[in-house]
Amino acid sequence: MRIPFELAETLAVVVDEGTLDSAARRLHITPSAVSQRIKALEEQLGRLLLVRSKPARATEAGASVIRLARQTALLEHDALAELGADPADAALASVPLAVNADSLATWFLEPLARLAQRHPVVFDLHRDDQDFTAGLLESGTVMGAVTSRAAPVPGCRSSVLGAMRYEAVATPRFAARWLAGEPLAALTAAPVVDFDRRDDLQNEWLSDQGVDPARPPRHYVPASNDFATAVRLGLGWAMLPRFQSHDAIERGELVLLGGRPVDVVLHWQQWNLRSPLLDAIADEVVAEGRRVLAPVR
């Protein structure tokens, strides 16, 4: 049994774009042709590959086919480069990567910018919590990921990047208003800024202070730069990476609340596939991470 690359690629594009109509526009064919290709592939493999929801999503079997499509496209790109194909005539390789919001907002784009200057590549970035980006590797959605998971995802290899260090901060005005009293009572009443309902950094710090994390009121600001802005505007206190708080602390716009910093150890995981392009991405990302992040204790 063989899996035709054109059909596997079509499945990947449908999942990337979310609908058959959007996939058709990207592939320059009709939506009917897209549907026929998916149906033909499902009949050939005897498996349901696509859940036709909005957005469309791959089944477990479909994820395996998509992983094959992405790996084949990457190997084709590498082969053309080795054969000396004119970069001007070659399509840019699209490399999907997963990254946590704070890395994306602080250090992750610089190595990608350097790579884009040297390689015919575009990046399709998927943002998720560092505890969940490894799942995007497992599903075949991305080729590499910044993740808190140290153990390699099956079929991947893992390299430590360093620790992103978070410290509890607030504006001087906020601290004077909310945190001047008895510490436990003050922290119970003072508003907290959380990224989303999966963000447990503030809860971890509160627990260290002996405060029940369920007690304080919450703001939810689900974008890294806006999250930091919310703290600088005095909406609440939060754990910010030193990348985002250092200058404001130096200017007196933020103050440290004390307590133990929280270190989140990050790793780079990518498919264990011999690819010059993927290796170049790993070299840049790992080198940058180890340069700017705190050493792992």
pLDDT of 86 over the 80 cut:
no
Return the closest-CA partner of residue 123 out of 133, 134, 113: 113
CA distance 241 to 252: 17
**Angstrom distance (rounded) from CA 67 to CA 243:** 34
For the ranges 50-54, 64-68, 247-251, the one whose mean pLDDT is highest: 247-251
Q: What is the mean pLDDT of residues 139-163?
A: 93
Q: Is the pLDDT of residue 89 over 60?
A: no
Give me 132's structure tokens.
């969940």
Question: Could you please report the per-residue DSSP string of 5-34?
Answer: HHHHHHHHHHHHHSSHHHHHHHHTS-HHHH
Mean pLDDT of 70-84: 81
Output the pLDDT for position 79: 84
Contact yes or no for 118/71 (Cβ under 8 A): no
Contacts of residue 119, Cβ cutoff 8 Å, sequence gap at least 6: 93, 277, 280
| Per-residue pLDDT at 297 exceeds 80 | no
Say whether pTM exceeds 0.85.
Answer: no
Distance CA 172, CA 79 (A): 58
pLDDT band at residue 226 using 50, 70 and 90 as cut-offs: very high
Question: Dihedral through CA 141, CA 143, CA 145, CA 151, nearest 10?
Answer: 100
Mean pLDDT of the chain: 92
Task: Select from 197, 96, 192 the least CA-distant residue to 145.
Answer: 96
* Among 55-69, 71-85, 122-136, 261-275, the least confident range: 71-85
Amino acid 90: pLDDT: 57
Q: Amino acid letter at 144?
A: G
In this predicted structure, the answer to whether residue 208 has a pLDDT above a threshold of 70 is yes
So what's the pLDDT on residue 91?
A: 67
**Is 80 exceeded by the pLDDT of residue 259?**
yes
The Cα angle at residue 66 between residues 65 and 68, in degrees rounded to 5: 65
Top mean pLDDT of 34-38, 71-75, 118-122 is at 34-38
Tokens 């200057």 locate to 117
pLDDT at 87: 54
pLDDT band at 88 (very low <50, low <70, confident <90, very high): low
pLDDT of residue 94: 86
Encode 226-252: b = buried (16+ Cβ within 10 Å), e = exposed.
Answer: ebbebbbebbbbbbbbbbbbeebeeee
Instruction: Kindly state the average pLDDT of the residues 110-132.
Output: 92
Q: What is the pLDDT of residue 85?
A: 65
Which residue do the tokens 């730069």 mark? Answer: 225
Q: Which of 43-52, 86-95, 196-205 has the lowest mean pLDDT?
A: 86-95
What does the pLDDT look like over 5-54, one tens digit per residue?
Answer: 999 999 999 998 999 999 999 999 999 999 999 999 999 999 999 998 88
pLDDT at 249: 96
